[in-house]
Amino acid sequence: MKAAVLGYGKSGRAAETLLRHAGAVQVDIFEDKNNAYPSISEFRNGYDRVAVSPGIDIIKRGLKIDNLTSEIELAYEALAGKGKIMVMTGTNGKSTVTYLTSQILENAGIKAVACGNIGVPFGEVVLKGGCDVFVLELSSFQIELLRNFKADMAAITNLAPDHLDRYPSYEAYIKAKMDVLKFVKEDGFAVLPDEKELLRHAEYYKGKRVIINEAMNGFPKLTGKTMDFGAYSLDTARFPLFGTHNLLNLAFSLASADSLLNFKGDITPQAESLKGLPHRCEYAGTVDGVSFINDSKATNVYSTLACLKGAKAGNVIILGGRDKNGDFSLLADELNRAASTVIAYGEAARIIKEKLKGLLICDFVTSPTMEQAIKTGLNVAPKGSNVILTPACSSYDSFNNFEERGERFMQIVKELGGK
């Protein structure tokens, strides 16, 4: 077999390994530099398999060819049915749901691993072996490349406008995400959000489904600190992650894991030892009675909105970085509820100020850097409140990525005496 790999990041490298494992005697690597690719006819006629990385737009490149494949498809072939696959997708929360679900399964004694878009290639863990359940996070780009893949269940956390530089419309983005249901087995299971527009796109799906109510006044039902799913319930006071939006993430995770575990009664022990992912509403420490929360992963307005909805009143909210053409006015209502002060920093500070002008009843100040914003936040935050970094912007004005930004936030808090 002669094969090609287009794009050579983590997914591309895993695809190369999988192709060689499948018997390819020649694997040609094409990195996305200066668009130096062979012609479409050469890809179609010169190779048995062409593995495309998710970052490459197959429509724009004209790569709708029969021999097209992907790392996810190749890993599925290599798995050969020896394990269950749970797919997690959505705009926000999918990584946290992936991670929480894998922990819940592991705590129940099942050999599970979180993989895919969360950072560890699916192919890498399949070839490593020793796993019974693959909790697989997929982006819309990865879903586009699915062909023969079949999952045992899929969860879609939510959808909001995203990647509109790649999709012609929000409707096209919704369809790309919802298409994941086409790749769930006939006897499979789906966990879906109670959103009318999304459910309209899921009408063709005839398998078992659970609908998660975002307000948590149906399934599940949140009464005080008790989250009730009918057959099972838990005390949310013992769930360690910050924010009510993480309770929603927990609901998706438990409903997904329940498709394998069949929970009964009080399952609080399943939740109290769970850990969140770094830079997603991560506790950074407390200084002089003020707690610091690192939500650096919130690189768009909708992620920040989810964080704000999960916060109580009286916080200092830090926004900023490099603007991604976000509509910051969408944050106004939640900022007025959750914030005593909003601090905008970096390149986007001026834009944020303009977009929120006349909309806020809380205090608003700007800062040249994130470090200064943190120090200002400590000075103005009421004792017992939080200073929350939830930028709604990319990190590229000052940092290489959101991880670096979040690590610097954690470091500054520590330098200020955070414990």
Cα 339 from Cα 341, distance rounded (Å): 5
pLDDT digits over 302-337, tens only?
999 999 998 999 999 999 999 998 999 999 999 999
pLDDT digits over 150-207, tens only?
999 999 999 888 787 888 999 999 999 999 999 999 999 999 999 998 999 999 999 9
91 is in an annotated binding site: yes
Bridge partners of 151, per DSSP, are 184
What percentage of residues in the chain have a pLDDT greater than 70?
99
Tell me the DSSP string of 173-224.
HHHHHHGGGGGEEEEEEEEEES-HHHHHHTTT--SEEEEE-TTSBSSSEEET
pLDDT at 163: 80
282-415 has which CATH code? 3.90.190.20
**Pairing mode, strands 265-266 and 2-6:** unpaired
pLDDT at 419: 85
Q: What's the pLDDT band for 376 if we cut at 50, 70, 90?
A: very high
What percentage of residues in the chain have a pLDDT greater than 90?
86
Say which residues have a Cβ less than 8 Å from residue 282's Cβ, sequence separation at least 6: 242, 276, 293, 294, 295, 406, 410
pLDDT averaged over every residue in the chain: 94
Residues in the chain: 419
Cα Rg of the chain (Å, integer): 22
340 is in an annotated binding site: no
pLDDT at 197: 87
Task: Supply 172's token pair.
Answer: 């096209």
pLDDT at 32: 66
Boundaries of every domain in the chain: 2-69, 79-272, 282-415
pLDDT at 139: 95
pLDDT digits over 1-44, tens only?
999 999 999 999 999 999 999 999 999 999 866 556 777 778 88
> Per-residue pLDDT for 61 more than 90?
no
pLDDT mean over 329-348: 98
Lowest mean pLDDT among 37-41, 87-91, 132-136: 37-41
- The answer to whether domain 79-272 has CATH 3.40.190.10 is no
pLDDT at 43: 84
Task: Give SS3 for 66.
Answer: coil
Token pair 């050579």 is found at: 8
Sheet holding 2-6, edge to edge: 26-30, 2-6, 49-52, 68-69
pLDDT at 282: 95
96 is in an annotated binding site: yes
One-letter amino acid of 80? A
pLDDT digits over 215-255, tens only?
898 899 999 999 999 999 999 999 999 988 999 999 999 99
pLDDT at 45: 85
Report pTM. Answer: 0.89
Q: What's the pLDDT band for 98 if we cut at 50, 70, 90?
A: very high
- The answer to whether domain 2-69 has CATH 3.30.70 is no
